[in-house]
Amino acid sequence: MTFLAVLCLLAAPVPSSADRPFILLQSTTSTQNSGLLDAILPQFTALSGLEIRVVAVGTGQALRNAQNGDGDVVLVHSRLAEEAFVKAGYGVARQDVMYNDFVIIGPESDPAGIAGAATPFDALKRIAEKRALFVSRGDESGTHQAELRLWAETGEMPSGPWYREVGAGMGTTINITVGMAAYTLTDRATWTAFGNQSDLRILYENHPSLFNPYGVIVVNPERHPHVKVEAAQDFVDWLVGPGGQAAIAGYRVDGQQVFFPNADAQSGS
């Protein structure tokens, strides 16, 4: 190679990350904190050359961001809010992607005695009656909305110094729960992947009311013309297709499957 050719090569612009094709995914702290997105998104990028940039916030904030045009796709877990988002014209359509479940964690000593509860509603009633410390995300996330639905079933909405709303993501909420030796509701995936479990344990689990489905929605380009709708739809098609569903099913935390693909449930829902 000639000296002039070397100079030309060195002078050629190097593509930056800002120059690469990408879409913006509004998703949740649970998909991020659990490690799922870090595991599966590179598989799509390797196939498509398309980078997925993630904003991980609570479901409520993710939907508000997308409603304001800040995002091409949303992947969240509050079905009623997702359906309302589509019905209002901000999303093209909702598709099932996967599910896991919620669990109630608390100190191993279980001062409220929820381990023997018959239902999650009974478990929460015991916490309220004992005025045992309970930490709520308080951030309009999918987990927070699920928690409020469970409290509503008890017939008593919680209040008082024993009930602490922190307005934070799941990881921060668990850290606060650990520090206070309190109870909280969390998705199983985040808890399984969480490093600072201390002496907290899953004390209530495995009830139909704790079912936690996730949906994916392309943001409506009629509302926001800058949405990269074709690239976004390519990502969604992969996520709900054989490749994405296999990637979700194959993800493990300490050998445990923490998300279960269910895109084929769409036809029956």
Tens of pLDDT along 141-163?
A: 999 999 999 999 999 889 999 99
pLDDT at 55 > cutoff 80: yes
What is the model's pLDDT at position 264? 84
Tell me: the pLDDT tens digits for 193-224? 998 899 999 999 999 999 999 999 999 999 99
pLDDT at 226 > cutoff 60: yes
Task: Mention every residue, 6+ apart, whose C-beta is less than 8 A from residue 99.
Answer: 211, 212, 213, 214, 259, 260, 262
Return the SS3 of 115. helix
Q: Which domains does the chain have, with CATH numbers?
A: 15-100+212-268 (3.40.190.10), 102-210 (3.40.190.10)
Segment holding 95, helix H or strand E: strand 91-107
pLDDT at 1 > cutoff 60: no
Q: How far is CA 267 from CA 32, 94, 112, 234, 260, in A?
A: 28, 12, 42, 19, 17
9, amino acid identity: L
What is the model's pLDDT at position 212? 96
pLDDT at 91 > cutoff 90: yes
pLDDT at 242 > cutoff 90: yes
Tell me if 215 sits within 8 A of 155, measured CB to CB.
no
pTM of the model: 0.87
Q: What are the structure tokens assigned to 260, written together? A: 């279960």
Q: Which parts of 162-264 are beta strand (E)?
A: 163-165, 184-187, 200-204, 211-219, 252-253, 256-257, 260-261
Average of per-residue pLDDT across 178-184: 97
End-to-end Cα distance, the chain = 63
pLDDT level of residue 6 (50, 70, 90 thresholds): very low
pLDDT level of residue 19 (50, 70, 90 thresholds): low
- Average pLDDT of the chain to the nearest whole number: 92
DSSP label of 20: S
Which parts of the chain fold into alpha helices (H)? 3-11, 29-33, 36-48, 59-67, 79-87, 120-130, 142-154, 170-180, 188-193, 229-240, 242-250
pLDDT top residue among 120 and 12: 120
d(CA 254, CA 71): 32
d(CA 251, CA 233): 23
Tell me: the pLDDT tens digits for 92-118? 999 999 999 999 999 999 999 999 999
